[in-house]
Amino acid sequence: MNVFELLVDLHRKNPRQGPGSTEVTQKAIGLTGLEGRKDLSIADIGCGTGGQTLTLAQNLDGHITAVDLFPEFLAELFSRAKNEGVDHRISTLRASMEELPFQSEEFDLIWSEGAIYLMGFEKGIRSWKKYLKPGGIIAVSDIIWLTETRPGDLEEFWMEECPEIDTSEAKLDVLTRQGYIPLGHFVLPEECWIENYYLPLKSSYAGFLERQNHSKSARDLVNQDVEEYEMYLKNKDYYSYGFYIAKKV
């Protein structure tokens, strides 16, 4: 298996592929001002297995196009949507976030939790803007610094992994520069990382390694995740995810 196939196998049964929670998604929905609106058109880009997609379907009146590159994640999402009775509100689409087949001004709301870093924050919000209706809303979460200074090795690690990591103030400046009016933002709490992401991921290691016959590549991937978790525990005062909700001008 290549690294992408290993990542999919490790993560596909987990409710989330990054930090987050139902409560955080609901809080961000509240900041959109779209609750109570009817027949919304929504895109959830980089949806993974759809933890936030289900919350969107349960809290907003409309149809969601859930987009991900990996069909295994989309299959898990749709299975969960059926179990929750919201499958009629969700369509899945296998596509790259950089090559989306959408029409201009198609959506009332574009959502993306913990995925825009793959494309780059500024490039993402600039590229996706054309798919929003006038006055449409974008809601994205992305990794941020919580402090102006941090340990050098930590900064080096995250600058390599996510070159656009920055402070909340800088993210808000990018949104304004790209033609959005910020409506609200907040920092994800610690439990979004530990209880909702790292611990469920940790519980999947044994089954993953068994499926992969304890191959070196599989062990290396697990060790990498363990090291990232330990780094978070040591440095959680320096970084987190920020959630940003803004309106297209």
* Distance between CA atoms of residues 47 and 244, nearest Å: 17
Query: What is the reported pLDDT for 234?
Result: 97
pLDDT tens, per residue, the chain with 249 residues: 799 999 999 999 998 999 999 999 999 999 999 999 999 999 999 999 999 999 999 999 999 999 999 999 999 999 999 999 999 999 999 999 999 999 999 999 999 999 999 999 999 999 999 999 999 999 999 999 999 999 999 999 999 999 999 999 999 999 999 999 999 999 999 999 999 999 999 999 999 999 999 999 999 999 999 999 999 999 999 999 999 999 999
Note the pTM of the prediction, 2 decimals: 0.96
Residue 83 has φ and ψ, to the nearest 5°, of -60, -30
Q: Supply 11's token pair.
A: 């993560």
Contact of 70 with 92, CB cutoff 8 Å: no
Domains of the chain, CATH where assigned: 3-248 (3.40.50.150)
* Residue 197 DSSP class: I
Residue type, 104: S
Closest-CA residue to 19 (of 52, 65, 43): 52
